[in-house]
Amino acid sequence: MIFIASIAVAIRALLANKLRSLLTMLGITIGIAAALAMVAISDGAKTIILEDLEKISGISELTDITDFSPS
């Protein structure tokens, strides 16, 4: 029963502060989109760099080892 009451309070707060709620959702959306864009850009750059290294070195396959955990 407390959960339902909490949901009701949250909905009332959202409706009472529409602009604040909208700006908060917009900020969260922009933040998530920026994080995803950075991951996509870094993955693309990594792929391009590895392809260029393969072309320059003449090696047909490069292995990327990114495990930094202590052994």
Instruction: Establish if 71 belongs to a structural domain.
Output: no
**14 in any annotated domain:** yes
Task: Classify residue 25: in a domain, yes or no.
Answer: yes
Return the SS3 of 33. helix
Q: Taking 70 as the threshold, does the pLDDT of residue 43 lie above it? A: yes
Residue 63 domain flag: no
Confidence band (pLDDT; 50, 70, 90) for 62? Answer: low
pLDDT (average), residues 21-40: 97
Residue 45 inside a domain? The answer is yes
* C-beta separation of 29 from 22 below 8 A: no
Number of domains the chain contains: 1
Q: How far apart are alpha carbons 61 and 67 in whole angstroms?
A: 19
> Is residue 42 in some structural domain?
yes
Neighbouring C-alpha atoms within 13 Å toward the C-beta of 60? 0
Q: How many Cβ atoms are within 10 Å of 19's Cβ, its own excluded? A: 7
64 in a domain, yes or no? no
Domain span at residue 18 reads 2-57
Per-residue pLDDT tens digits for 49-61: 988 888 888 776 6
Between CA 3 and CA 8 the distance in angstroms is 9
Residue 65 has pLDDT above 90, yes or no: no
